Amino acid sequence: LSTIDAIAAVRSFLSTGLRISAAMASHVVGYPRMGPKRELKFALESFWDKKSSASDLEKVAKDLRCSIWQQMSSAGISYIPSNTFSYYDQVLDTTALVGAVPSRYGWAGGEIGFDVYFSMARGNATCPAMEMTKWFDTNYHYIVPELGPDTKFVLSSHKAVDEYKEAKALGIETIPVLVGPFSYLRLAKPAKGVEPTYNCLSLIDSLLPVYKEVILKLKSEGATWIQLDEPTLVLDLESHHYEIFKKAYEYLGSEVSGIKILVETYFADIPAAAYKTLTGLKNVTAIGVDLVRGKKTLDLIQDVGLPDGKLLFAGVVDGRNIWANDLAESISLLEKLCAKLGKERVVVSTSCSLLHTAVDLKNETKIDAELKSWFAFAAQKVIEVVALAKALHGSKDEAFFAENAAALASRRSSPRVHDPTVQKLASEIKNSEHRRSTPVVNRLEEQQKHMNLPILPTTSIGSFPQTLELRRVRREFKANKISEEAYIKAIQAEIGKVVVLQEELDIDVLVHGEPERNDMVEYFGEQLKGFVFTENGWVQSYGSRCVKPPIIFGDVSRPKAMTVFWSKYAQSLTKRPMKGMLTGPVTILNWSFVRNDQPRSETCYQIALAIKDEVEDLEAAGINVIQIDEAALREGLPLRKSEQANYLNWAVHSFRITNCGVKDTTQIHTHMCYSHFNDIIHSIIDMDADVITIENSRSDEKLLRVFKEGVKYAAGIGPGVYDIHSPRIPDVEEIADRIRKMLDVLELRVLWVNPDCGLKTRKYSEVKPALINMVTAAKKIRTEL
Ligand code: GLN
Ligand code: ZN
């Protein structure tokens, strides 16, 4: 290298603000906060229970952050994010950042501490928590900001600055991450008392100065880059949204010169209009795109290009799944981008924050080596990102790539993955119609002839309280500490108790209570072929809560009946109809890590076939009412309208496959949580279940509005008459009132009476009186009619 070259290299190095060569740049959008063994969860819960101090909690948090930065730094990531840690949620952190605390939490101004922060997250003695809702189409939930014309934004949290400084003290330069101002407002809702049509985006002008202030603070601490996450840009927006976005970033760009702005988008293709708006912004130096979910984004970049001087953060490593990256495929994609933009402008990145995947494969001791070689959790994905960046620039780690290629080859050809029989069956059903031949109205008549139920029949959703004793029995059986015989006895005794209780309560259609199940997906996944379970593959759902999704790695089939034994036993104890209880294919799919080597629909069809076998076995065993829960059907809905019809089509088809083969006299129920159904009501009708029980009581009877508006619904329907998520016991009049309201919009002959959801998280001391009141209310109305 000549001196001139060397100086030029140093200049370009300084000008892009990187610590290592810009020519090997790598980046991670965000990282899981919980820790490899859910350390943060336990620290939070112990703090909330007053078993440990604030400084104990802070210590755990600090250690987690530092170990993540060190891990990324030693892996060689050039753009390491900071402020992706959170004690609860990054949107709530933003609410704290800008001081948008709803007045009911009694905040008096100043730096927001744990008190106010956790009150907003979890409620306090005098007021409930802020609303929480799903973060796009993930299973993560954020705290919804409540804004209105009176909201005054003021910088009220130094968390972002503190974290930047904390990393710097370790000698690690980071790129601080904030939820972008546009997405923050777009994800907010009008506060209580504000017009429901109020547009939170109208607050942008008063919000931006706070962003400016924090960004300048970061800059004065030495930050050279800032990452603003604007995932709402991938949604269906209108042109005035782009105008607001443009104005916002023009303002920030001109007010905070000297710090480079990266705008991150993720979770779907970036629409052309959003891409053009974004790349047209003079002061946005870099944009991040999701190239895993955004299959059309590559074409867009190739067609439209990227103005000179701007960088592309190419999200090729999947942040939403646990599969090892196909490094060869990623390299070929990255090379296409490099050919178009030039190598120095492409930064290898993750598709989105790694928050949505498991933390570290290292802690899995029970999964065999072959399967493990197919997986990459967050820690492994960091390594993949660096390996790709290096390979792109001529320093390919041949051994690492060879190992990856071998693992992928074994996955592609493994008989553990591919079962020709299943594939044949699944491909045959794809293009045919599966529908029960008799219309639902006639089926219901046939069923009623056999069942002879009263009007307003009462039922429950499936689970009964899961006592400590019950959990102990299941745990000990799993650990081989008690015999199968003892286990069966204990579960049967529990079923017996639940049956007797329901008969005493005079409920019409009974359930067995699900005492044998830990979780409605895990229970089935453990018995189906093609699934594997992790020990520590936790993913944050909200606050300290995590879920451990099963991994579907292979073709799915059912070696033997899964629920028949228990349902048959339960039915033998009573003359009343006993519901068989299954989880539907779409819910099993949406609550799992799904294979990426075939379309999701294909996997869903395979699960549907397995559940179909179970439905038919239950019917043959004399179970005449079968409930197939599809609690998560709504969750899988794609973000973009243009993709929704296709999803609903195969999802609803999969559901129908499970039960199209039963007799007219077999009554198929389904159950759904959450009540945002108004936009998909026609798909729900198209599921063609005989009866649907559905969440209703937490949503101001939103659900009923759709029927008021004239949607014809011929099947049975049980909108929940009370909220099981709260320990409160509803009184008879309150439930009766609810039923009367439903009767205003629904025909008497279709209406069922049931709680909102399963009772497993409640205590018997809550469940008994609530169900007594529910049955009393139903009987009362029967006599009024
Ligand atoms: N049958 C399940 C239960 O009662 C349904 C749970 C759910 O909808 N999430 O527990
Ligand atoms: Zn439910």
In the predicted structure, residue 1 carries a pLDDT above the cut 70: no
Q: Which atom of ligand 1 is nearest to the CA of 760?
A: 10
Q: What is the pLDDT of residue 675?
A: 62
Using the mean position of ligand 2's atoms as its centre, give its distance from the Cα of residue 653 in Å: 21
Tell me the mean pLDDT in the region 64-72: 98
Among residues 63, 64, 76, the alpha carbon closest in space to that of 31 is found at 64
20 pLDDT tier (thresholds 50, 70, 90): very low
Task: Please report the atom of ligand 1 found closest to the CA of residue 463.
Answer: 4
Question: pLDDT digits over 702-729, tens only?
Answer: 777 888 888 888 999 999 999 888 888 9
> What's the mean per-residue pLDDT of the chain?
94
Pocket of ligand 1 (CB under 6 A): 461-463, 514, 520, 581, 629, 631, 671, 673, 757-758, 760
How much of the chain exceeds pLDDT 70, in percent? 96
CB 561 within 8 A of CB 61: no
Nearest CA to ligand 1 atom 4: 758
- Strand 260-264 relative to strand 667-672: parallel, antiparallel, unpaired? unpaired
CA angle (570, 592, 298) in 5-degree steps: 155
User: Does position 355 have pLDDT exceeding 60, yes or no?
Assistant: yes
Q: What is the structure's pLDDT at 16?
A: 44
> If you average pLDDT over residues 739-759, what whole number do you get?
94
Decide if pLDDT at 18 tops 60: no
- What strands, in cross-sheet order, belong to the sheet with 716-719? 579-583, 625-629, 667-672, 691-694, 716-719
> Which residue's CA lies nearest to atom 1 of ligand 1?
462
Ligand number, closest to the Cα atom of 720: 2
Quote the ligand 2 centre to 226 CA distance (angstroms). 41
pTM: 0.94
Q: What is the mean pLDDT of the segment spanning 127-136?
A: 91
Q: Whose alpha carbon is nearest atom 6 of ligand 1?
A: 758
- Residue 696: per-residue pLDDT: 85
- Pick the ligand that lies closest to the CA of residue 581: 1
Distance 509 CA to ligand 2 centre (A): 17
Q: Which atom of ligand 1 is nearest to the CA of 627?
A: 1
Euclidean distance between CA atoms 146 and 128, whole angstroms: 14
- Residue 496 in 3-state DSSP? helix
Q: Judge whether residue 541 has pLDDT over 80.
A: yes
Exactly one of 158, 418, 676, 725 is catalytic; which is it? Answer: 725
In the predicted structure, residue 415 carries a pLDDT above the cut 60: yes
Q: How far is residue 657's CA from residue 473's CA, in Å, rounded to a whole number?
A: 35
**Residues 86-121: pLDDT tens digits?**
999 999 999 999 999 999 999 999 999 999 999 999
Give me ligand 2 centre to Cα 357, in Å: 24
Q: Average pLDDT for residues 740-766, to the nearest whole number?
A: 94
Give the Cα separation of 299 and 231 in Å (integer): 20
> Worst-scoring range by mean pLDDT, 6-10, 183-187, 540-544, 773-777?
6-10
For 169, half-sphere exposure in the C-beta direction (CA atoms, 13 angstrom radius) is: 9
For a ligand 1 pocket test, name from 586, 629, 762 the mutation site with the most ligand atoms within 8 angstroms of its C-beta: 629
Query: Which residues is 262 bridged to in the sheet?
Result: 227, 286
> What value does the mean pLDDT take over residues 677-683?
88
pLDDT band (50, 70, 90) for residue 699:
low
Q: How far apart are alpha carbons 359 and 35 in whole angstroms?
A: 7
> Which amino acid is it at 174?
T
Query: Which residue CA neighbors atom 3 of ligand 1 most closely?
Result: 758
Give mean pLDDT, residues 298-311: 96
689: its two tokens: 């279940």
Atom of ligand 1 nearest to the CA of 673: 8
pLDDT of residue 698: 66
Could you say which ligand is closest to the alpha carbon of residue 521? 1
**Protein residue with least CA distance to atom 8, ligand 1:** 631
437 alpha carbon – ligand 1 mean position (Å): 29
Residue 413 confidence (pLDDT): 97
Please say if 356 is a catalytic residue.
no
DSSP structural state of residue 324:
P
Residue 777 predicted with pLDDT over 60: yes
Low-confidence winner among 13-27, 134-148, 327-341, 665-679 (lowest mean pLDDT)? 13-27
**Residue 674 to residue 133: CA distance in whole angstroms:** 11
Give the residue, out of 692, 757, 759, 771, with the most ligand 1 atoms within 8 A of its beta carbon, to mutate for a pocket test: 757
Taking the C-alpha atoms of residue 350 and residue 316, their distance in angstroms, rounded to an integer, is 6
Give the model's pLDDT for residue 432. 84
Distance from residue 257's CA to the centre of ligand 2 (Å): 50
Q: Which of 337-351, 475-489, 722-736 bottoms out in mean pLDDT, i.e. has the lowest?
A: 722-736
| Ligand index nearest the alpha carbon of residue 591 | 1
Give 700's pLDDT tier (boundaries 50, 70, 90): low
Q: pLDDT tens digit string along 588-640?
A: 999 999 999 999 999 999 999 999 999 999 999 999 999 999 999 998 999 99
Work out the percent of the chain whose per-residue pLDDT is above 90: 90
What are 284-297's pLDDT values in tens digits? 999 999 999 998 99
Greater model confidence, 369 or 127: 369
